[in-house]
Amino acid sequence: MAQQVYTLLVEVGRKQGDGLPDGSTGAALICYATGKDQAEAVRETVAILKQADLAPLEVQGYGTLDERLAEGHEIPDEERALMERALAENAVIVAQMEPFFQDCDGCD
């Protein structure tokens, strides 16, 4: 089976030296990763994120471009370009990172 690009949502926790903003409790990352199947894409993504001193906690897969289109997802050109880059470079591309901050209403 040929390499395909999978869209993954990865939740990471905190780890010393992770480069996340001060005060954040972790982050969500949208990644485009290549693999012969989604399991391989997940394994590669987790390995790369660990090498980058991040602490992956959970990975949710959203499938390939064709699978997402079949589900009715609208995929902008910028996102498609990142997917094409991931495939061309046989790489994991982190397209977006959203840090988590604890809501401190009622914190002491």
Confidence of residue 107 (pLDDT cuts 50, 70, 90): low
Confidence of residue 20 (pLDDT cuts 50, 70, 90): very high
**In the numeric block, which tokens belong to residue 99?**
């840090």
pTM > 0.85: yes or no: yes
When pLDDT is averaged across residues 8-26 and rounded to a whole number, the result is 93
d(C-alpha 69, C-alpha 62), whole Å? 11
Distance between alpha carbon 61 and the CA centroid of its chain, in Å? 9
Low-confidence winner among 29-33, 84-88, 98-102 (lowest mean pLDDT):
98-102
Residues linked to residue 100 through DSSP beta bridges, in sequence order: 26
pLDDT at 52: 92
- pLDDT tens-place string over residues 44-67: 999 999 999 999 999 999 999 999
pLDDT at 1: 73
Q: Report the chain's mean pLDDT, rounded to a whole number.
A: 93
When pLDDT is averaged across residues 17-44 and rounded to a whole number, the result is 95
